[in-house]
Amino acid sequence: MAKIPIISYGHQSIDDNDIKEVVKVLKSDLLTQGPKVEEFEKAVARYCGAKYGVAVSSGTAALHLAYIVAGIKSGDEIITTPLTFAATANMLAVLGAKPVFIDIKSDTLNINPDLIEEKITKKTKAIVTVDFAGHPCDYDEILKIAKKHNLLVIEDACHALGAKYKGKKVGSFADMTILSFHPVKHITTGEGGMILTDNKDFYKKLKTLRHHGIVKKPEKGGWYYEIENPGYNYRITDFQCALGLSQLKKINRFIKRRREIVVIYNRAFKNIKEIITPTEKDYVKSSWHIYPIQLRWIDKRKTFDALQKQGIGVQVHYMPLHLHPFYQKKFRYKNGDFPVAEKYYGKEITLPLFPSLAEKDIKKVIKEIKKIIN
């Protein structure tokens, strides 16, 4: 029997123009450290309403550098959500800082601002938000708390490029905003990420740290540079940035298509009591990185396996981070600490969602889910 092709939960949408732009750079002199990097940074920053962008080799690298320039170090406590990809907290842990998890809201699945203040101590340095599934957090409340306690807000917006909160674009309100250009995200560079900020000091430090910590001093000679702080090689290539620039031209169309598919799914599942569809508040415009549904009264694992067997590449986003062995051992988190996130995890599966998802595949996903539930 022929193997059923898998419709994955996320996938890049690449066209001939993207390929042409990459090939142009491949035929040019500079594969890296050329003009496309800054062009891409400026274009993304402009699109998001931020002053500066620093493009790096991944979203994880972007988080790492943002945390370093925020001054996060060993012993600091950082408020964040347990419902995120590991990198959000991993990059805190590698700096020796403690992620102080706060439970989520059951509707938006984002950090619950009402629970933040009671966890702030003298060691708290920043709040790291995650706009889960593309739905921005409650920034009026979060920014107010941050201001009152003199904390930085770093927004992990890897799910939320192009999303809006009360009419304002993601990237225009946190101290630093983090993007990823992994193939499943809104636009791709293969691997890649960016830090957005309005803070010139952060911007300069980020650029230096991306490139070994090298500070050029041309007044001392054309060759001359100094290391003031050791940095990394977190550079992104010019052909990746050419791909990113070409992809960015299509961002509005991509988001529009994601939103259309969400409407199709929402309508199809409206009268199925076993499925809870994801929420979008009326004051936000989600850019819908993923489509997470929650199952009622039916077994998650059986449903997951049955869908996979039918070629529907469902996923789970995510097992809350405090349930991972490392976070339990190192920071003494335990099962039961964040009941809303855990309850959600017990019921969640992610359905395929990406702009190039074929109409017939959308129909197939809906049909198979209905079949399995009945």
Ligand X SMILES: *Cc1c(COP(=O)(O)O)cnc(C)c1O
Tell me which of 54, 87, 293, 349 binds ligand X, using CB under 6 A: 87
Q: With respect to ligand X, which residue has the nearer C-beta, 254 or 269?
A: 254
H or E segment to which residue 252 belongs: helix 251-269
Tell me which of 78, 83, 130, 151 binds ligand X, using CB under 6 A: 130
Tell me which of 180, 189, 287, 350 binds ligand X, using CB under 6 A: 180
Does 59 interact with ligand X (rule: CB under 6 A)? Answer: yes
H or E segment to which residue 331 belongs: helix 325-331
CB 293, CB 148: distance < 8 Å: no
Distance of alpha carbon 116 from the chain centroid: 21
CA atoms within 13 A on the CB side of 354: 20
Does 88 interact with ligand X (rule: CB under 6 A)? Answer: yes
Q: What separation in angstroms does the CA of 165 have from each of 19, 50, 147, 214, 242?
A: 33, 15, 19, 37, 29
Q: With respect to ligand X, which residue has the nearer C-beta, 28 or 32?
A: 32
Q: With respect to ligand X, which residue has the nearer C-beta, 234 or 269?
A: 234
Alpha-carbon distance of 199 to 204, in angstroms, equals 9
Min separation Cβ 92 and ligand X, Å: 12
Does 348 interact with ligand X (rule: CB under 6 A)? Answer: no
Which residues contact residue 183 at a Cβ distance below 8 angstroms, ignoring those fewer than 6 apart? Answer: 10, 11, 12, 190
Residues 140-169 that bind ligand X (CB under 6 A): 156, 158-159
Min separation Cβ 61 and ligand X, Å: 7
Does 10 interact with ligand X (rule: CB under 6 A)? Answer: no
Q: What angle do CA 145, 292, 171 make, to 5 degrees?
A: 40
Q: Classify residue 331 as exposed, middle or buried by CB count within 10 Å of its CB (0-12, 13-18, 19+).
A: middle
Q: With respect to ligand X, which residue has the nearer C-beta, 58 or 303?
A: 58
Does 285 interact with ligand X (rule: CB under 6 A)? Answer: no
Does 186 interact with ligand X (rule: CB under 6 A)? Answer: no
CB 18, CB 246: distance < 8 Å: yes
Does 85 interact with ligand X (rule: CB under 6 A)? Answer: yes
Q: With respect to ligand X, which residue has the nearer C-beta, 245 or 369?
A: 245
Alpha-carbon distance of 250 to 32, in angstroms, equals 24
Residue span binding ligand X (CB under 6 A) among the ranges 55-63, 147-155, 162-170, 326-334 = 55-63
Tell me which of 125, 182, 186, 258 binds ligand X, using CB under 6 A: 182
Residues within the interface to ligand X (CB under 6 A): 58-60, 84-85, 87-88, 130, 156, 158-159, 180, 182, 193
